[in-house]
Amino acid sequence: MFKILIAEDDRELRLLFQRVLTRNGYSAVGAADGSEALDLIDKEYFDLIISDVMMPKVDGYELVRSLREAGITTPVLMITAKDAYDDMREGFASGTDDYMVKPVNVNEMVLRVGALLRRAQMINDRRQVIGNTVLEYDSMTVTTGEGSVQLPQKEFMLLYKMASYPGKIFTKQQLMDDIWGYESDAEAHTVEVHIGRLRDRFRDNPDFRIVTMRGVGYKVVKL
């Protein structure tokens, strides 16, 4: 079960987030400010952090900067009442992974949490093997019996995502959210284009195929 830390000084909002996340299968722990959040992080492991910006003692920006300076790469979803571009830019500059503006749609929050966790899991795994085909995340290379090839970032991440769950069907929207980001302006057709390129590259690969599930999405199947 993924464990999520919620740093929010508004008690009612903090408890609401905890209830919603618990209902969706997560373990949720609350902190009343950034200082308390840092204390908890010192004692426990969290898979993801949801943090308000305006908090007493240590605000959200300071919290994230402290984590990144300490080498902690835990995904952070920043939630704030501010919607100005400069505030959003500061959030991302501090090391935030995603950003939501109050009032928060809790259903959207759950979707973003899931996307961030999936993305983090992809990065942490670093390597996938299907038969004699090896996908190396750090170098974005695919090695087969015919040699190694380095793929463009989006192509590699798309293949890596599907290869991590052979046989699982991913919708275009899931792939867009996970690879291009939840707020990307890219169109769903972009996924089709990248799938087409991957098929051309690995048409003769003996280890896997990319299968289109018409009207549903795509999956990688082992051969």
pTM higher than 0.75: no
Residue 45 neighbours by CB under 8 Å, 6+ apart: 3
pLDDT for 138? 83
| Owner of token pair 């500059």 | 93
Half-sphere exposure of 56 (CA within 13 A, CB side): 4
3-state secondary structure of 80: strand
Q: Flag residues of the chain having pLDDT under 50.
A: none
pLDDT for 188? 67
How many C-beta atoms lie closer than 10 Å to residue 31's C-beta? 22
pLDDT for 84? 64
CA dist 184 and 201 (Å) reads 26
Q: Please report the domains of the chain, with CATH numbers, ordered by start residue.
A: 3-122 (3.40.50.2300), 126-222 (1.10.10.10)
Contact 158, 198 (CB under 8 A): yes
Q: How far is CA 131 from the centre of its chain?
A: 26
Alpha helices in the chain, H assignment, sequence order: 11-23, 34-43, 60-69, 85-93, 106-125, 153-163, 172-175, 189-201
